[in-house]
């Protein structure tokens, strides 16, 4: 009898919980429909700052801080994709972060591997929203299990088209630009380096390699650089959000955030919620007409 009562209690709690989630989901959709009367940004980038401060403020174990941050990430991703934001980019791990203690770096790498594998599971948000996952950064700096997990995630989700999640790991923008220059040089001059291993002696060599427009076509241009950036397939962010109130870019998307709206809510990353996202969208909608006019000047 006691067992039946307990089972009834659990199933009624589960039913209430499901009903509550359904109501919240319905209200959220109504809110998003209202927001959609204005412009919805195509691409939002996040610097997920404040995990450790959150844990310290709540006397949580240090290892828990990034797990709590991951929960916040999944929640905000869900809201972004429901709202119609197609591209979300997050700054998960900077090249500078490798200078932290070995224990912390290792625990973050382990967490990353665990969460990447979890994202690929059937019931995860990735499959629910048809998300393509990108990993941007110098992946050679990652340990092999994490790198393989990241590469597998990119392969498995390559066919998804509804939304894009770009995770910047082992990343800095200055390193990205160096990589873009290297790739541009490789691609542009691989051919003539075989023919002219000592370099080009004169303009005739240039024309011989590149045709009659050789002088112009041999130059590395902004198009070459952008084509070889990690972020080449994504549009520039419309909004860049850094949580915890810090106002600096920390070498994140420097090139791509030329005319991007920068927001720095004081909330720590694990505290980020729907109301912060609504505020971000409203701020974006407020300045967008002015930004569009400025772009035309």
Partner 1 sequence: MLTLQPNYFPLPSLQNFKCIPSISFSRRKSHRTKPRNFSSPPTPRISASSAAETSVEEKRSVDGGDTLPEGLSREAMPRHVAVIMDGNARWARAQGLPPAAGHEAGVRSLKQMVKLSCMWEIKVLTVFAFSSQNWFRPKAEVDFLISLFESVLRADIENFVRENIRLCVIGDSSKLPKSLQMLINEAEEMTKNNTRLDLMVAVSYSGRDDIVQACQKIAYKVKDGLLEPGDITELLIEQELETNAVDFPFPDLLIRTSGELRVSNFLLWQLAYTELFFTGSLWPDFGEAEYVQALQSYQDRQRRFGLRDGAA
Chain positions 131 to 190 lying near partner 1, rule: CB under 8 A, are 172-175, 177-178, 180-182, 184-186, 189
Q: In a 3-state reduction of DSSP, which class is residue 131?
A: strand
Please state the closest distance from residue 99 (CB atom) to partner 1, in A.
Answer: 6
Q: Which of 16, 20, 287, 292 binds partner 1 (CB under 8 A)?
A: 287
Quick one: which of 6, 12, 161, 266 contacts partner 1 (CB under 8 A)?
266
Q: Please say whether the beta carbons of 235 and 42 come within 8 A.
A: yes
Query: End-to-end distance of the chain based on CA atoms, in angstroms?
Result: 77
> How far apart (Å, rounded) are the C-alpha atoms in residues 205 and 196?
8
Question: Should residue 199 be labelled a site residue for partner 1 when binding is judged by CB under 8 A?
Answer: yes
Q: Which of 1, 2, 59, 101 binds partner 1 (CB under 8 A)?
A: 101
Q: Does the annotation count 49 as an active-site position?
A: yes
Q: Are 183 and 228 in contact (CB under 8 A)?
A: yes
CA 289 to chain centre: 26
Considering the candidates 49, 110, 201, 224, report the single residue annotated as catalytic. Answer: 49
Query: In this structure, what token pair is assigned to residue 226?
Result: 């952008």
Instruction: Tell the smallest beta-carbon distance from residue 227 to partner 1 (Å).
Output: 13
d(CA 95, CA 103): 16
Would you count residue 67 as binding partner 1 (CB under 8 A)? Answer: no
List the one residue out of 88, 41, 73 whose CA is nearest residue 269.
73
DSSP characters for 80-91?
Answer: HHHHT--EEEEE
Q: Under rule CB under 8 A, how many of the chain's residues touch partner 1? A: 59
Residues marked active site are found at 49
For partner 1, the binding residues (CB under 8 A) are 52, 94-97, 99-101, 104, 172-175, 177-178, 180-182, 184-186, 189, 197-200, 218-222, 225, 245-251, 254-255, 257-266, 279, 286-287, 289-290, 293, 296-297
């Amino acid at each position: 009898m006691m067992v039946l009562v307990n089972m009834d209690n659990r199933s009624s709690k589960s039913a209430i919980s499901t009903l509550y989630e359904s109501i919240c989901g319905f209200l959220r959709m109504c809110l998003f429909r209202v927001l959609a009367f204005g412009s919805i940004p195509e691409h939002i980038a996040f610097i997920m700052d404040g995990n450790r401060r959150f844990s310290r403020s709540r006397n949580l174990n240090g290892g828990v801080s990034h797990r709590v941050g991951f929960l916040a990430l999944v929640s905000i991703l869900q809201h972004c994709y429901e709202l119609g934001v197609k591209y979300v980019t997050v700054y998960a791990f900077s090249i500078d972060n490798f200078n932290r203690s070995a224990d912390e770096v290792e625990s973050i790498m382990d967490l990353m591997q665990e969460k990447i594998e979890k994202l690929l599971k059937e019931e995860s948000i990735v499959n629910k929203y048809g998300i393509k996952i990108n990993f941007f950064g110098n992946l050679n700096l990652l340990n092999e299990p994490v790198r393989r997990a990241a590469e597998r995630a990119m392969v498995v989700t390559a066919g998804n088209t509804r939304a894009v999640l770009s995770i910047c790991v082992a990343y800095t923008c200055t390193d990205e630009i160096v990589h873009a220059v290297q790739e541009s040089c490789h691609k542009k001059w691989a051919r003539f380096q075989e023919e002219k291993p000592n370099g080009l002696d004169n303009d005739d060599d240039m024309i011989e390699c590149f045709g009659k427009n050789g002088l112009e076509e041999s130059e590395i241009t902004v198009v070459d650089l952008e084509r070889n950036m990690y972020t080449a397939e994504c549009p520039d962010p419309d909004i860049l959000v850094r949580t915890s109130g810090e106002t600096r870019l920390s070498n994140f998307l420097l090139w791509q955030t030329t005319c991007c709206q920068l927001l720095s809510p004081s909330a720590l990353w694990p505290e980020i919620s729907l109301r912060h996202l609504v505020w971000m969208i409203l701020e974006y909608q407020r300045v967008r007409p002015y930004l569009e006019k400025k772009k035309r000047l």
